[in-house]
Amino acid sequence: MHRLIKLVLFIGLCIGCSAAAWANSYSDTIKAFSAAGESGKYFNMSYGYAVFPTVGKGGLFYVGGGYGAGKVFVDAKHVGNSTVTQLSLGPQIGGQAFSQIIFFQHEQAFNDFTSGNFEFSAQASAVVITAGVSAEANTGGGTSAGISGGRNDAVTASGGYRKGMATFTIATGGLMFEAALGGQKFSYTQL
């Protein structure tokens, strides 16, 4: 089982690395979210945000995993670095890459995220709004769906903040079929 988990994480990293050409810089990713409908409005009304240009994830049989590296900003100033890891259990196969941004409504939400090891579990209350060709359940108990022709013309829909955070994703590549339950865990290192 330990080898299977390593294999799945390796697949996720490979997908993430191969998608790096799609999201090769933080400024490109921020521009994409700024131009993607509702997510663009959050830049002006948020305390700060964490941006992950490429998160790669992969799944094989009943185990999946993913990884991405990001930066955290307050008032458009880089204040720290973050990583995201994912583990999911349930039927799944394939791999995909996506860009992700998490907006912090206020200082308390920022403090919660940067406290060390923050986690979005299946029961967490963060809105996940997807842009790209996909549909998914959000961590707040609802569902969302979105469709776009690609990263440069992604469109997002408003879902608002949940417990001070709003999360948007843009699919950048890959294909993955899953009916899995999982969560994301974030680490933070202050500059």
Report pLDDT digits (tens) over 34-72.
988 788 889 999 999 999 999 888 888 878 888 999 999
Q: Is the pLDDT of residue 172 over 60?
A: yes
First to last CA, the chain: 37
The percentage of the chain sitting over the pLDDT mark of 70, rounded to a whole number, equals 62
Rounded CA-CA distance 81/59 in Å is 26
pTM of the predicted structure, to 2 decimals: 0.72
Structure tokens at 149: 């022709």
Domain boundaries, the chain: 2-190
The percentage of the chain sitting over the pLDDT mark of 90, rounded to a whole number, equals 27
